[in-house]
Structure 1
Amino acid sequence: MSGGDARTPDVAASDPWSGLRRTTQARIGLGRAGSSLPTRRELEFRAAHAAARDAVHEPLDVDALVPGLDALGLGATLRVRSLAEGRGEYLRRPDLGRRPASLDGLDASGDADVAVVLADGLSPRAVAEHGVALVTALVDALGTGLRVAAPVVATQARVALGDHVGAALGVQTLLVVIGERPGLSVADSLGVYLTHDPRPGRTDAERNCISNIHPPDGLGYAAAARVAAALVDGSRRLGRSGVALKDSSALDDATAEALDTGP
């Protein structure tokens, strides 16, 4: 065979998964090397596992977040922390992460409708990378019809800690923006939890969640904020949140009204 007739092996033909891998962060079509994974896939797994561990244990730099939150013009950013003294105790004792060490400085004198709590959760990295941008999008999506309280940053925090904050601020609607549990594909994903009439003792069934927020590969800030704003509006009309409340952000006003009020 002459040199002009030589053919280079087609990588896509030899690995039919290569095209699919470009469309997802999932670990698919990893292959085999005898009874084990190929060396490349094993190293990728170890790197992803290390990134997930780092995302969990890395402390949140609150001071770096405050200027961006203060720039929203909602008032000076407030800070709270849970009863968990450090990341180790936070991971071992979820119950401590649900209770604030103190609520000093939080009161209902601002007469706000909505409170936004930015919590480190299980991925402080996600909050550091996406938190301010997402809170900014949320405030923009809520518009001028609702009064938003000064932002609150919570450390060593679980979702339920926000119920104490919302009750102290006297708001009708609470949005907790929190770092989600890292996986082997994504270590910097945020979730938004909405609770109507927040108070200690609320259950997960009384909340709505928007998850997988981590552009460019996950849900974008503006898209997540539109869903959150629709849920806020729906919860205030319905008088509750959770399993009874559906996302109506993609529906017209008449259909959304029907969902909110029921048959």
Structure 2
Amino acid sequence: MEKVAEILTEASAEVVEPRFRALAAGEVMEKSPGDLVTVADREAEVIITRRLRELLPVPVVGEEAVAADPSLARALHTEPACWLVDPVDGTANFVAGRPDFAVMVSLIRDGEAVAAWIWQPMTRTAYAAELGAGAWRDGRRLTRAAAADTPEKWRGSMKPWFLARDVFPGLRDRVHAFGQVTGGRRSAGVEYPQVADGDMDFLVYWRTLPWDHAPGSLLVREAGGVSARLDGTPYRADPPGGVDGLLVASDPQTWEQTRAILLGLPD
């Protein structure tokens, strides 16, 4: 666990942090309209990939490598084990000079995250989780307390304009049942730790790329929370193009009640 954490912090220090608010012309590109990538993303992924393979020689599914060759993501289902890498989660924030970004890795076995690491360079905060063993922030065990007793006190994030209207009819009206709902921080590597730390009570996502959600889902679950599809199926690291929709919550009761509100289910 400690060795992977070192790999993330060292790659970040070498090629990501020096470019924060210092990206040169030509160092920011679009993979697709609105989907940014920088030289920091690409160089960090190369470094992390090489060092992870030295640690455990299994396939590496990296966000930028998959952008170039989508077939690489099949390893999540076809290989007994693989590394999953997000070299800069929150690239749009990174490009804009906002500090909400992270470097993330998870180890996947038979489609399930069994270990995860999240490094937040700007706050110098490290999160880690191991299946069945717990979750930690800077080496201290995380145990998430249940949310308050009523939704009017809950804090969450979602982007209603991204959610399918046929799945969430009337959602814009129902979000008023919660105490506070924001549009999120544009980085799963920042948002999931907010739930594990107790700063947020729930998160709602629609598009769930595996490198964004495998690390945080394991972190929240190992801290005592829930990360599951809308039908209650626990989150698994599916290749892009799989199932949409994911609800993350501080505890099982909060998950169930949040789901009922979001979907307009009877009390």
Give the TM-score of the pair, scaled to structure 1: 0.31
Higher strand content, 1 or 2: 2
Q: Mark the structure with the bigger radius of gyration.
A: 1
